[in-house]
């Protein structure tokens, strides 16, 4: 990311812009420690802040993106970010409300630490006066013996208070209970804040509101050990207008890694955001100005069928996470699939990813088109397929099929083909 994008935002008197008001307008403040003290800290000087990401998977996801973009906004306002990748906390696992996590091997966690660090780094600048740092909490936990940890850190935590944390109490009241390993997670996270406070004068931690119990363990520990105060800023859980958790579809996360969620699928996810949610998504996930977002909101109200806000949202976020080229490739693929562009001009990865999101079937050259229509679910029967062809509504690779006995003759990139019925019903054919 260009260094010029991270010029410090200061007013004429040398103070810093009120980034807290900006975050509140964007719906990114659910709860914080003393708001006025936090505002004072953010406007009077450049502070150091951190957010942690545990390597419990091979990629970050949309929930993490909220935190990464919040970090970026704070850095743009002149503050210094620490992106913490939890090499030690990732070995333990943050307590989930339902059941115990499956512990990954040390080798797997170490591999994921590197991957997540690379992903997180794309959203921050590591140059200039307020350059970011990438840190790993394994650096200060690994040298500690169990006795040292219990004597120097554990003695400051009271079991009664630890039991009252939401994640812990939920598990205690479940059939699964909670292990001492996950019960101790909040001590490790609190220790992280204390170490960053000591090493980098870090005075602010950001995170999701569902992590509030873990976040406060750090401020409490700093107060007890150092006799000083630190701040927390928690973002709300992002939900759709119907109250469902955002970013989940039938249990599948939307990943930031292009190999887990293709740029095409990523773009389509944003393009399909409901009208009722699109303005909130623009505020949280883009850097568009208030005027630009208000204009898109008006366009949505006046002509929702044009989906101007969704198209801009998909373009902006796909560009942020992947690249402008990947976003444009997704746009070109969408147009080509529906007969408004050149399918042959799409690269193999993009077309394959796009077709993978559709109903699909495997077939060999020589297969009847009518059979493919049935196998992909575009029609209910061979006779229905013949009727569809006779009516002029069937296309293979955007070429109209006129012969009811037509067969599959070739593939795009020698691997796939696009079957379409009418204007909008698509399926993918992959070479058997």
Round to whole Å and give the CA distance between 234 and 221. Answer: 18
Q: What is the pLDDT of residue 410?
A: 92
| pLDDT score at 248 | 60
DSSP calls for 308-353: HHHHHHHHHHHHHHT-HHHHHHHHHHHHHHTTSS-GGGS-HHHHHH
Domains of the chain: 3-237 (3.40.50.620), 263-431 (3.10.290.10)
Can you list the alpha helix ranges (DSSP code H) found in 88-235? 89-92, 106-121, 138-141, 146-152, 159-164, 166-172, 180-183, 185-200, 212-226
Nearest to 103, CA basis, from 111, 116, 93:
93
- pLDDT recorded at residue 365: 96
pLDDT at 239: 86
The pLDDT, as a whole number, for residue 102 is 85
Q: Per-residue pLDDT for the chain (432 aa), expressed as one digit of tens each?
A: 333 343 344 444 555 779 999 999 999 999 999 999 999 999 999 999 999 999 999 999 999 999 999 999 999 999 999 999 999 999 998 887 777 888 899 999 999 999 999 999 999 999 999 999 999 999 999 999 999 999 999 999 999 898 888 888 888 888 788 888 999 999 999 999 999 999 999 999 999 998 999 999 999 999 999 999 999 999 999 888 788 877 665 566 899 999 999 999 999 999 999 999 999 999 999 999 999 999 999 999 999 999 999 999 999 999 999 999 999 999 999 999 988 889 989 999 999 999 988 999 999 999 999 999 999 999 999 999 999 999 999 999 999 999 999 999 999 999 999 999 998 899 999 999
Q: Report the side by side order of strands in the sheet with 416-421.
A: 360-363, 425-431, 416-421, 394-396, 399-400
Closest CA to 234 of 217, 253, 219, 212: 212
SS3 call for 84: strand
Global pTM exceeds 0.85: yes
For residue 431, report the phi and psi dihedrals to the nearest 5 degrees: -65, 125
* Spatial contact of 292 and 281, defined as CB atoms under 8 Å apart: no
């Amino acid at each position: 990311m260009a260094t010029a994008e991270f010029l410090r935002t200061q007013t004429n008197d040398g103070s810093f812009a009120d980034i807290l008001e900006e975050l509140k307008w964007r719906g990114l403040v659910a709860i914080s420690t003393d708001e006025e003290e936090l505002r004072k800290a953010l406007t009077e000087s450049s502070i150091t802040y951190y957010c942690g990401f545990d390597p419990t998977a091979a990629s970050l996801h949309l929930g993490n993106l909220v935190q990464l973009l919040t970090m970026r906004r704070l850095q743009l306002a002149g503050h210094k970010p620490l992106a913490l990748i939890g090499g030690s906390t990732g070995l333990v696992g943050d307590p989930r409300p339902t059941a115990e996590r499956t512990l990954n091997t040390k080798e797997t966690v170490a591999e994921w630490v590197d991957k997540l660090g690379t992903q997180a780094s794309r959203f921050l600048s590591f140059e200039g006066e307020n350059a970011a740092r990438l840190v790993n909490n394994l650096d200060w936990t690994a040298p500690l013996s169990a006795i040292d940890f219990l004597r120097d850190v554990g003695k400051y935590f009271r079991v009664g208070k630890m039991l009252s944390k939401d994640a812990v109490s939920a598990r205690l009241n479940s059939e699964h209970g909670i292990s001492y390993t996950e019960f101790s997670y909040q001590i490790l996270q609190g220790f992280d804040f204390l170490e960053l406070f000591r090493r980098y004068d870090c005075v602010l931690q950001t995170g999701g509101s569902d992590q509030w119990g873990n976040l406060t363990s750090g401020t409490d520990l700093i107060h007890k050990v150092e006799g000083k105060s630190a701040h927390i800023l928690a973002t709300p859980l992002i939900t759709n207008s119907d109250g469902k958790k955002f970013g989940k579809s039938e249990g599948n996360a939307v990943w930031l890694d292009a190999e887990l969620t293709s740029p095409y699928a990523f773009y389509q996810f944003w393009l399909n955001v409901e009208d009722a949610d699109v303005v909130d998504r623009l505020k949280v996930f883009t850097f568009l100005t208030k005027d630009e977002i208000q204009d898109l909101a008006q366009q949505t109200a006046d002509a929702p069928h044009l989906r101007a806000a969704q198209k801009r949202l998909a373009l902006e976020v796909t560009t942020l996470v992947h690249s402008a080229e990947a976003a444009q490739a997704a746009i070109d693929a969408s147009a080509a699939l529906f007969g408004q562009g050149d399918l042959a001009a799409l690269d193999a990865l993009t077309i394959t990813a796009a077709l993978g999101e559709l109903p699909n079937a495997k077939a060999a050259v020589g297969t009847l088109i009518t059979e493919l229509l049935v196998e992909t679910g575009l029609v209910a029967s061979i006779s229905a397929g013949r009727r569809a062809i006779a009516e002029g509504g069937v296309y293979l690779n955007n070429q109209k099929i006129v012969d009811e006995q037509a067969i599959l003759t070739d593939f795009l990139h020698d691997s796939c083909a696009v079957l379409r019925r009418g204007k909008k019903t698509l399926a993918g054919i992959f070479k058997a």
